[in-house]
């Protein structure tokens, strides 16, 4: 039996929509070195955050400590109000990741990998690369580096006066968006990490303590 014209049209529309790149329209431009040096993300300063993680229908809340150690390693420790540790992650000076501890409920390969990639981008580790490219899209400028099969971007406004967001993506699809609010990119007041290909979202609000 042949599909009806309406059903065929609907199927074709969905198929075409699925093929459209999230980055269609990016126009390669020369890298603005002044903007790069001024806005390029760097590691966050040591701080405590009120944290909430929503992952595959489950919600976990507590406190996240991001701390730069004397040996230039970085630690991220997520605990509840009673002091129970959910996870304790580390990145060494070269950006290599280590799980010091994680509770059994979160100890899933896909979750650990996503958390590793989330915090690596948040700490600006991919942006240590010396190889940069830049694109224009509307009123925004994209600065990007490539790492294996992923691209990492930080996005500014056209005038390079502010950092709009960070993104990780495949060649065609956004995978992770990080937005930050506050006047100091090293000490943001709030941070949202939103996944686009997996049901996970992290909300962070800075605590003064």
Element (H, E) at 17: helix 5-19
> Which residues have CB under 8 Å from 117's CB, separation 6+?
168, 176
Query: 188 and 180 in contact (C-beta within 8 Å)?
Result: yes
Q: Look at residue 90 and tell me whether its pLDDT is greater than 50.
A: yes
Backbone angles phi, psi at 176, to 5 degrees: -145, 135
* In-domain check, residue 1: no
Q: Look at residue 98 and tell me whether its pLDDT is greater than 50.
A: yes
* In-domain check, residue 10: no
* In-domain check, residue 15: no
Q: Give the domain extent around 133.
A: 23-207
Nearest to 56 by CA among 193, 200, 204, 202: 200
Average pLDDT taken over every residue of the chain: 86
Q: In whole angstroms, give the CA distance from residue 121 to residue 153.
A: 9
* In-domain check, residue 73: yes
Q: Look at residue 81 and tell me whether its pLDDT is greater than 90.
A: no
pLDDT in tens, 158-186: 999 889 999 999 888 999 999 998 877 66
pLDDT in tens, 12-69: 444 444 556 888 889 999 999 998 888 888 878 889 999 999 988 889 999 999 999 8
Q: In whole angstroms, give the CA distance from residue 100 to residue 193.
A: 22
* In-domain check, residue 120: yes
* In-domain check, residue 193: yes
Q: In whole angstroms, give the CA distance from residue 130 to residue 145.
A: 8
* In-domain check, residue 11: no
* In-domain check, residue 16: no
The reported pLDDT for the residue numbered 67 is 93
What's the CATH code of the domain at 104?
2.50.20
The reported pLDDT for the residue numbered 185 is 66
Element (H, E) at 19: helix 5-19
- Residues of the chain with pLDDT > 90: what percent? 55
Counting the structural domains of the chain, the total is 1
The reported pLDDT for the residue numbered 8 is 42
Per-residue DSSP letters for 134-198? EEEETTEEEEEEEETTEEEEEEEETTS-SEEEEEEE-SS-EEEEEEEESS-TTS-SEEEEEESSS
Q: In whole angstroms, give the CA distance from residue 143 to residue 155.
A: 6
The reported pLDDT for the residue numbered 6 is 46
The reported pLDDT for the residue numbered 147 is 83
Q: Given pLDDT bands bounded at 50, 70 and 90, which one contains residue 209? A: low
The reported pLDDT for the residue numbered 186 is 67
The reported pLDDT for the residue numbered 157 is 92
């Amino acid at each position: 039996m042949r599909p009806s014209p309406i059903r065929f049209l609907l199927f074709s529309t969905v198929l075409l929509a699925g093929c459209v790149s999230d980055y269609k329209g990016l126009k390669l431009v020369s890298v603005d070195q002044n903007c790069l040096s001024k806005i390029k993300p760097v590691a966050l300063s040591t701080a405590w955050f009120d944290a909430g993680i929503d992952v595959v229908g489950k919600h976990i809340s507590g406190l996240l400590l991001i701390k730069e150690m004397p040996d230039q390693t970085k630690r991220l420790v997520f605990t509840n109000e009673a002091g129970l540790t959910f996870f304790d992650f580390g990145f060494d000076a070269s950006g290599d990741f280590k799980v010091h501890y994680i509770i059994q409920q979160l100890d899933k390969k896909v979750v650990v990998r996503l958390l590793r990639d989330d915090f690596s981008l948040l700490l600006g580790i991919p942006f240590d690369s010396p190889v940069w490219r830049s694109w224009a899209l509307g009123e925004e400028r994209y600065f990007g580096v490539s790492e294996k099969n992923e691209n990492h971007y930080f996005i500014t406004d056209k005038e390079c006066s502010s950092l709009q967001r960070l993104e990780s993506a495949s060649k065609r699809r956004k995978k992770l968006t990080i937005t930050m609010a506050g006047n100091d990119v090293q000490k943001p007041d709030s941070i949202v990490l939103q996944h686009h290909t997996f049901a996970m979202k992290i909300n962070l609000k800075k605590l003064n303590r």
